[in-house]
Amino acid sequence: MNNIQPSRREFLASASSLALAGAASAQSRPPNILFILADDLGYGDLGCYGQKRIQTPNVDRLAAEGVKFTQAYSGSTVCAPSRCTLMSGKHTGHCATRGNRHPEIPLPISDPSIAEVLKRAGYRTAHYGKWGLGGPETTSTPTERGFDEFFGFLNHQHAHQAYPDYLWEGRVETMLPKNWFYRKQQYVPDMFTDRTLKFIDQPSDKPFFVYLSYTVPHADNELPGIEVPDQGPYAKESWPEIEKNFAASITRMDSGIGRILDLLKSKKLDQNTLVIFTSDNGPHKEGGHSPEFFGSRGALRGVKRDLYEGGIRVPAVARWPDRVKPGTSSDAPWAFWDVLPTLAEVAGLKAPGGIDGGSFLRALEGQGQLSHAPFYWEFHEGGFQQAVREGDWKLVRQLPKLQLELFNLRDDLSETQNVANKHPDIVARLSALMRTARVESQWWPTA
């Protein structure tokens, strides 16, 4: 878990030679990559993970035609740090953003983003949706961090709105006058789908990388509530209005994903396109929504803002017909900081040094996975909280008591039996990992 920091100059200086080496070793053009991120979608919110009432046929189709991961983890239990671990390949003991406070903290210039890495292999890149890793006054907007195109929210607080007055196009504010004066005619998740379709449909001899980060089913904490153009198939249900909207927002997102999958097929791109769908953290209980109503956490304990499994274990499915066997399931554990080195390997490149993640490409292809370094999370709302997982053992320091709790996830997935008193040696080892897995940060003090 050491954090050796190579300079950005060293990283960029090696780009040409690595790109040539990657091109020489590849038998064909690298695959297209579409990474789709939901916002606050729980482990139990999809049909392929046991959901019975919310319709998600297109994500379920991805699972049926690819691999479903049962032990995938987000980078954090809230959005901004989770996205930071995704882009940087560093967990929350090392990355710059470790909580939702300080929303303007940029992704450090010394941390190459996924997009910057993939551009070395000739990818054209686009990000549509929520960024959350630096505002317009920083050097950390998407178009400055490797994305050719960006359309969406820079700030995660701005992203609470389903019908905003404006969005960012690169570094320029783009007005949405059809939403002015409460008219609500431009639903931004649909706009993100449309932009993705347009980008994929552009003629090009280069592979593409699209990072599509929907803002669904996040609540608008200022309303409060969840806004959606209509309640779709749930309009006549005898459910609370907030739950109809919650379900409708997920199904509408799923329909947008279906449109993208159809376009990939019609353009004969689907065979050599890796599509990954996951969520940035566990289910929320905001805006009047109850995570119990649909069983959003599944059998897991905890929700968003918890470091129990329900706050950080997320649904994750992937389809890549050229390389991934359909209808498979993998219990190989991985976390968001593993995505960068995985996509680098997919593109035929080496990942930058000084990161915490390792590639899970072997697990993606159904070949098993090499042993994983211990997983580490920290969180800074209401008190300094930590979790570490090594093998089947997980140690948690969680509010409200902030005492050390030890769970064996193989025997106790729901984390109901704290066995710390029975295994002091394991507690000692994992608590030592908690101390050594992190570096201090001026923005995220431990006291």
The class of domain 379-436 in CATH terms is alpha beta
3-state secondary structure of 413: coil
What does the pLDDT read at residue 19?
A: 43
What does the pLDDT read at residue 200?
A: 98
3-state secondary structure of 294: coil
**Residue extents of the structural domains in the chain:** 8-372, 379-436
What does the pLDDT read at residue 1?
A: 45
What does the pLDDT read at residue 350?
A: 96
Are the beta carbons of 221 and 160 closer than 8 angstroms?
yes
3-state secondary structure of 57: helix
- Percent of the chain that is helix, strand, coil (3-state, to 5): 30, 20, 50
Instruction: List the beta bridge partners of residue 153.
Output: 130
Give the Cα separation of 307 and 387 in Å (integer): 6
DSSP count for the chain of H helices, then E strands: 11, 15
3-state secondary structure of 21: helix
Per-residue pLDDT of the chain (447 residues; tens, 9 = 90+): 443 334 444 444 444 444 434 433 444 789 999 999 999 999 999 999 999 999 999 999 999 999 999 999 999 999 999 999 999 999 999 999 999 988 789 999 999 999 999 999 999 999 999 999 998 988 899 999 999 999 999 998 899 999 999 999 999 999 999 999 999 999 999 999 999 999 999 999 999 999 999 999 999 988 889 999 999 999 999 999 999 999 999 999 999 999 999 999 999 999 999 999 999 999 999 999 999 999 999 999 999 999 999 999 999 999 999 999 999 999 999 999 999 999 999 999 999 999 999 999 999 999 877 789 999 999 999 899 999 999 999 999 999 999 999 999 999 999 999 999 999 999 999 999 999 999 999 999 997
> Which phi-psi region, left, alpha or beta, contains residue 52 (left: φ > 0; alpha: ψ -120 to 50)?
alpha
DSSP 296-359: TTTT----TT--SHHHHEEEEEEE-TTTS-TTEEE---EEGGGHHHHHHHHTT-PPPSS-S---
Q: How many whole angstroms from its chain centre is CA 346? A: 18
As given in the structure block, the two tokens for residue 288 are 């009047």
- pTM of model > 0.85: yes
What does the pLDDT read at residue 386?
A: 98
Q: Of the candidates 299, 291, 118, which has an alpha carbon nearest to the alpha carbon of residue 211? A: 118
Determine how many CB atoms are found less than 10 A away from the CB of residue 111.
Answer: 27
DSSP conformation class of 422? G
DSSP conformation class of 372? P
The CATH code belonging to domain 8-372 is: 3.40.720.10
SS3 of 157-197: the string is CHHHCCCCCEEEECCEEEECHHHHHHCCCCCHHHHHHHHHH
Residues 6+ apart with CB under 8 A from 16: none
DSSP 127-138: EEEE--S--TTS
What does the pLDDT read at residue 21?
A: 41
Give the Cα separation of 244 and 281 in Å (integer): 21
What does the pLDDT read at residue 48?
A: 98
Are the beta carbons of 1 and 356 closer than 8 angstroms?
yes
What does the pLDDT read at residue 26?
A: 41
What does the pLDDT read at residue 269?
A: 97
Are the beta carbons of 46 and 59 closer than 8 angstroms?
yes
Residues 6+ apart with CB under 8 A from 400: none
